[in-house]
Amino acid sequence: MHELGIVFYIIRDVKQAAGENGVSHVDAVVMDIGEVSTIVPEYLTDCWRWAADKEELLRGCELKINTIPAVTHCDDCGGEYETVRYGKTCPCCGGEHTWLLRGNEIEIKEIQVNN
Amino acid sequence: MDEVKVIEIKKSVFAANDQDADALRKELKNKGVYLLNLMSSPGSGKTTTLIRTINLLKDRLRVAVMEADIDSDVDARRIQAATGIPSIQLHTGGMCHLDAEMTRQGLDNLPLEDFDLVVLENVGNLVCPAEFDTGAVRNAMILSVPEGDDKPLKYPLMFSVCNVVVVNKTDVMPYFDFDLDRCREHVRMRNPRARVIPICAKTGEGVDAFADWLLEEVKTWKQH
């Protein structure tokens, strides 16, 4: 359900970018998806197929996903560590004053078109 | 062979919604209307809490409620019957959250000049509503005791976007392994600025603290 809503947003932005660039068909949309963004990539591509094929501009258009690894910063020791492996607690010093540096992205990186 | 052309976009999918939300907030500010986005899991007692709160506020503020659910209008009818204030029902048509555009469409059904406070009761869900700015002035969420004091650890984004966490159903605390201090600490870890207000919507205990917070918020919003 959540992924479908996101897909509608992607379509809205891609249509706008295509219009601004005078593009009549988009071959691929490349997404940057963070590891802890709450997006399930398989659901996103399934929803994409269903919704994109209803649009002339996006028929057959592939959704490519780049996964951005999640990294957390620790304010207590200044270190960085893998979020998915260690969660909120710093594995180096045991500190809990930590915050997500990256891995939360749901971004459209680029669109690929055939000239 | 055809040449592939790449058009760089580099844009968060939430950017368009964030813009819509900011525009809506500005419009509400001009009209002197305070919009509260209330979120929670299904069954946390949102509607009961709202009824209690509105009954404390309705003589001092002009209040309306927008109920968002996937289907049915039981909540809107219940609020209207128990408080007498206007209440409208939005259907998200299967979607798990409201965005700024849907919120605006809902608000278009209310004569906004007639209200000081509009409460948006978002879809019962701790994941998606946290990602979509509705255009509300503040976000509040209700965490009920049976859900556990570790919920902020499991749904960090929800707790990090909330200004207030209302802990509901405190009357059943002895029956659950729920520690209020531990809960406060877990909320603080996700969001040091969030205020925690323990209440029991069934008996009314503590609801006045939430109502007072809301009253102050609305006053401040309308002043500037």
On chain A, the residues whose CB falls within 8 A of the CB of B97 are: 2, 5
On whether any CB of chain A is under 8 Å from the CB of B99, the answer is yes
Mean of pLDDT values over B155-162: 89
End-to-end CA distance of chain B: 62
Mean of pLDDT values over B118-138: 91
On whether any CB of chain A is under 8 Å from the CB of B1, the answer is no
Around Cβ B17, how many Cβ atoms within 10 Å? Answer: 21
- Which candidate from B7, B13, B97 shows the least CB-CB separation from A106? B13
pLDDT digits (tens, 9 = 90+) for B12-24: 998 989 999 999 9
Query: What residue of B is the nearest CA neighbor of A27?
Result: B4
Write the Ramachandran bin of B4: left for phi over 0, alpha for psi from -120 to 50, otherwise beta: beta
Strands (DSSP E) contained in chain B are 4-12, 34-40, 63-69, 87-91, 117-121, 138-144, 164-168, 195-198
Mean of pLDDT values over A17-39: 94
pLDDT tops 70 at residue A44: yes
CB contact under 8 A, A38 and B157: yes
Tell me the pLDDT band of B2, cut-offs 50, 70 and 90. Answer: low
pLDDT tops 90 at residue B31: yes
Residues in contact with A14: Cβ distance below 8 Å, sequence separation at least 6, in sequence order: A26, A29, A57, A58, A108, A111, B9
Question: Higher-confidence residue: B98 or B136?
Answer: B136
pLDDT given at position A4? 87
Contact in structure between B146 and B172 (CB atoms under 8 Å):
yes
- Whole-angstrom distance, CA of residue B72 vs CA of residue B48: 17
On whether any CB of chain B is under 8 Å from the CB of A24, the answer is no
pLDDT digits (tens, 9 = 90+) for B184-204: 999 998 888 999 999 999 999
- Whole-angstrom distance, CA of residue A97 vs CA of residue A82: 15
> Which of B40-77 are b and which e, b meaning 16 or more Cβ less than 10 Å from the residue's Cβ?
bbeebbbbbbbbbbbbbbeeebbbbbbbbbeeeeebbe
pLDDT given at position A115? 65
pLDDT digits (tens, 9 = 90+) for A74-99: 999 999 999 999 988 999 999 988 88
| CA angle, residues A103, B186, B184, in degrees to nearest 5 | 145
**What is the reported pTM?**
0.84
Q: Name the average pLDDT for chain B.
A: 92
On chain A, the residues whose CB falls within 8 A of the CB of B7 are: 17, 21, 23, 110-113
Mean of pLDDT values over B177-184: 95
- Taken as a whole, chain B contains a residue count of 224
pLDDT given at position A65? 97
- Whole-angstrom distance, CA of residue A29 vs CA of residue A11: 10
Q: Which helix (H) or strand (E) holds B151?
A: helix B151-154
pLDDT tops 60 at residue A47: yes
Single-letter amino acid code for the residue at B149: D
DSSP output for A3-49 = HHHHHHHHHHHHHHHHHHTT-S---EEEEEEETTSS--HHHHHHHHH
- Whole-angstrom distance, CA of residue A74 vs CA of residue A85: 14
pLDDT digits (tens, 9 = 90+) for B53-89: 999 999 999 999 998 887 778 888 888 899 999 998 8
pLDDT tops 60 at residue B1: no
